[in-house]
Structure 1
Amino acid sequence: MEWLTDPFEATFVQRALWGGMLVSAICALAGTWVVLRGMAFLGDAMSHGLLPGVALAALLGGNLLLGALLSAAVMAAGVTALGRTPKLSQDTGIGLLFVGMLSLGVIVVSRSQSFAVELTGILFGDVLAVRAQDVLLLGGALVAALVVSVLGHRAFLALAFDVRKARTLGLRPRLAHGVLLGLLALAIVASFHIVGTLLVLGLLIAPPAAALPWARSVPGVMALAALLGVTATFCGLLLSWHLGTAAGATVSALAVCLFFLSRLASAVHHRDARPSGVRPAATD
């Protein structure tokens, strides 16, 4: 029991746990739609798109969160604008923004004398540096994400499965897509301080993808994804403490491991659930 409880007697680890739990809930709300709509590449691009704003804020001594919000807004606006450009696929537009924003961020950070240290901190985060005010901000971000998820649930659901039907029902799919991008940006901005821009996709994608085979509804996927994210956070902090590994990276790695365990368990479950009289069709 001491092996389990000793790390969490430290105040900074307690704050890290609370921060990670709140981030897991926020990422579950946004990440579920990312997984259902196949938007993982967009999520990755937006997470890296934060780099210029965060780097500029760090260089000027400004608020990192504000810099991240400004970059996220620019990235979301760019994705929306390029998505409406004829003869240009959405993936191409996202890829161009991804590379451009990432390059701009590295250029800005390279102006600093502590280039390597600051770039590492932005890319990988520092969950153990979470402050009390960060926890309060994450709580506010979770409330905002819950409000957006509840109010936009019907439109998001129609958008995920049938865009034409969403338009027929008067759900304004373009507006719903824009709001969904805002929800994704909120999750990424809230999470980058915990696990960094490079690893945020682990908490955003892995828990919802792991929950998908076991839940029967979208809210069920969100709830289970949040639980899996909290589990990855707790176990990641625990292992990081005892093994001396990077906390944020350990949390993200465990989230991905939970995904593979879930898929393996799902495959075994479906194999065992197959009626004994049914055999796979023979192939020539």
Structure 2
Amino acid sequence: MPLNIFQDLDGLPRIILTEPTGSSAEVLLYGGQIVSWKNEQKQELLFKSSKANWKQPKAIRGGISVCFPQFGNMGSLDQQGFTRNRLWSLDRDPSSLPPPDNHSSVDLIFKSTREDLKIWPRSFELRLRITLSAGKLVLIPRVRNTDNKPLSFTLALCNYLIVSDISEVRIEGLETLDYLDNLVKRSRFTEQADAITFDGEVDRVYLRTPSKIAIIDHEKKRTYELKKNGMADAVVWNPWERKAKAMSDMGGEDYQSMISLSSAVIENPVTLKPGEEWKGRQELSTVSSSYCSGQLDPRKVIYGFQ
């Protein structure tokens, strides 16, 4: 399908993806960031902060962003890397990926520049395919080592999703798993609850997670389903009231209507030899809240999906 490319208010290009049932997605070339995903009823599914900074070089708080080449306090860079603060390009040569059938899709690419090499001395190509279909948004990130030395990285697809009331939300699929708690100096714990619920700030990296995780929003009668491959970890974050009010790009009450659930590679960084490529996959969809939580029983869940 042809791409609809527009200029935003700051003159930066954005791409509008649409599909026959009426859903849509909006992608900025700055940061390769998805800033809108609407369902067939034109309801927005991605959270954006009421105080988001839309001016370069700041990243926009919300949507879906690619955090690379490191995520979290794992190295010398900003904890969310630098590719979300750079201008990406349309990828005219998606190479090894097959055509996306008749779905609405765009291929983006980011190549490290001389300036980037000064702060992170490894050459790479980061590609991202974004595909929209009825009720579904698929992201396929790929990293190729174009350097003559091994390349090691961590990565996250940071998904900010709209919910009705964070106090009424539960996440299923992470029970019984180990996690690193960023609020307690990355101490390691094991999840004891039947599902993750929220009554205060949460900032955790869940390790060796299943391919399927669900966010159940009782009030909206909506469940987000996250499926992933190649990204073993998952990050759950909500700043709650005190931290939200202290953040310059977050509205004081915004925490009530958002949850961040990220697909990530953190505990075991990826290492690529020169010329090697890594590929991940993330699929976001919405289903009815009649969704059976037993489908996410960790004893039955399948660690992998096609």
TM bucket by the smaller chain?
Answer: under 0.3
Superposition TM-score, scaled by structure 1 size: 0.24
Larger RCO (CA under 8 A, 6+ residues apart): 1
- Of Structure 1 and Structure 2, the greater helix share is in 1
Which of these two proteins has the greater Rg computed from alpha carbons? 1
